Structure 1
Amino acid sequence: MDVRVQTVGPTEPFLSARDLFQTEYDLDRPVEVHVREDPDERTWTSHDDDHHILNISRQAATSAMARELALHEYAHMHRNEQGHPSHTQSTEEVLYLALSGRSVERRKLTHCYQIANHMKDIYADDITLSVAPADKLVAFLESGLAIALADRPVDPATWTRRTPASDPEITAVNAAFALALVERHDLVGRDHRLYDLAHAAAQDAPSIRFETFKRHFRTLARDPGESEYRKTLVDVTREYAIDSGQAAD
């Protein structure tokens, strides 16, 4: 597995993640790592025919989570090379299938992309959690949810949204994702603080069927076919963009 850091910055987290990843998996194509100055984008990956590109902000590359973030992105690259449906299915196609003829708020469309990314992350973390300890990931999920809850509106009717993470509805879905991931891999006990945070997020968004989303994420088939995965993503998209609004009515 060939990992090349192309810009000035730390190399150890990426090489350490490579060594850990290689204990169980490998990549056929080399990885180019680019450390970026933009702190607003933590990590993002692209795939070419002859190599993968891992972009990571300098802030993330020098953080305590750097190795774990790199490992997570290597897992996405592996799913891409596998041709796994979660990483080959067009989100735009699913939105068309799920929402054709419907009028949907722009913010909800944006959130649907985030939900599709959650499903990709489930499959990436099935790999990540098979080779690395879960402690930092659980702490990362807990911290992210706590921050989103602290940023939620005091008066939703007059609140001006600042970021998607601050929206109570997508925060509830994010909380469902976090619990689904830890339950899928039996990472924490039911007395963990993550459950209290998730309960608060669900209370803030009564239109969201929290348990339904958690079940969708937790029970994703380990090795789905293309049509099975497409149907699942269509169902989750409709649940959020259409059915949650009807529940509110």
Structure 2
Amino acid sequence: MDVHVRSGPAEPFLSARDLFSTEYDLDRPVTVRVEADPDERTRVSHDDDSHRLTISRKAATSAMARELALHEFAHMHHYECGHPSHTQSTEEAIYLALAGRSVERRKLIHCYQIANHMKDVYADDVWMAMAPGDKLVGFLEASLAAAVADRPAEMRGWGSVAVPPQHPRQTGSATRLTPAADPDITAVNAAFALALCERHDLVAEDHRLYDLAHAAAQDAADVDLSEFKRHFESLAPDPDESEFRKALVDVTRAYASDESGRAAD
């Protein structure tokens, strides 16, 4: 693996490279660019010849830096291998799920975050076989606690839009759990955190994460925490294109539907 670090500490990324390369390899060179912007944790882009990881200085110097690098290297691996989670167009899946419907703008935006969660599940399946998940559990717990504490009293000004929108395709994720405190997506994020921990046996049944998830679910009456946990946890380890597309369509419909199971209009 060929990894070049620009404008920041090299050690976490080179350490991650050394560990990752014991099991996998990347055909294309990786350029890591450390930026001052504290609000953008990580972002990955690709072209025919290389990968680029942009990461905030705060994240690059954090205790999670090596794990973040492993996670993004796993995204690059799936991209190079043509894994369905990284080749399936999110726009196409959302169109299949919601064509002809009118959906709240905030929920449509959240559907893209949920699709990124599904990509993250597969990236984490790769790197978590190499390194302990303790730091990830702590990060998920802290992020969910912040989101639950930051919930707004009401949502205003979102409006509705027709499907499909023209959103840029992304690989990897800029954020995993966002303390921007919309109760609905916070509940889905809680389900993602629990599913990830259960998929890799990271926490006991009495872990605080379950209490936080319960609190998040109480604030989101239209989101079934157990249903979304099942969507994430039950993702097939090696899906074909049709299987992954169906999983993405199903979770999109589940989120953009009201409590009676009908897509909002």
What range is the shorter-chain TM-score in? over 0.9
For normalisation by structure 1, the TM-score amounts to: 0.94
Check whether the contact 2:38–2:57 (CA below 8 A) recurs between aligned residues: yes
Question: Does 2:10 match 1:11?
Answer: yes
Distance 1:158 1:90 in 2: 30
Amino acid at match of 1:191: D
Check whether the contact 2:146–2:179 (CA below 8 A) recurs between aligned residues: no
Deviation of 1:48 (Å): 1.0
Distance 1:226 1:248 in 2: 24
Distance 2:136 2:179 in 1: 21
Distance 1:92 1:164 in 2: 25
Check whether the contact 2:151–2:182 (CA below 8 A) recurs between aligned residues: yes
Superposition RMSD on alpha carbons, in Å? 1.9
Partner residue in 1 for 2:117: 118
Distance 2:219 2:263 in 1: 12
Deviation of 1:245 (Å): 7.0
Partner residue in 1 for 2:53: 54
Deviation of 1:185 (Å): 0.9
Distance 1:200 1:221 in 2: 29
Partner residue in 2 for 1:152: 151
Distance 1:164 1:247 in 2: 28
Structure 2: unaligned runs, 5 residues or longer: 159-177
For normalisation by structure 2, the TM-score amounts to: 0.88
Distance 1:18 1:244 in 2: 45
Distance 1:103 1:244 in 2: 16
Question: Does 2:230 match 1:215?
Answer: yes
Structure 1: unaligned runs, 5 residues or longer: none
Distance 1:74 1:134 in 2: 16
Deviation of 1:248 (Å): 11
Check whether the contact 2:147–2:179 (CA below 8 A) recurs between aligned residues: no
Check whether the contact 1:169–1:205 (CA below 8 A) recurs between aligned residues: yes
Amino acid at match of 1:3: V
Aligned residues: 245
Q: 2:251 aligns with which of 215, 236, 245?
A: 236
Partner residue in 1 for 2:99: 100
Check whether the contact 1:86–1:119 (CA below 8 A) recurs between aligned residues: yes
Check whether the contact 1:111–1:164 (CA below 8 A) recurs between aligned residues: no
More relative contact order, 1 or 2 (CA 8 Å, 6+ apart) = 2
Q: Counterpart of 2:63 in 1: which secondary structure? A: coil
Deviation of 1:64 (Å): 1.2
Report the structure, 1 or 2, having the larger helix content: 1
Q: Counterpart of 1:104 in 2: which secondary structure? A: strand
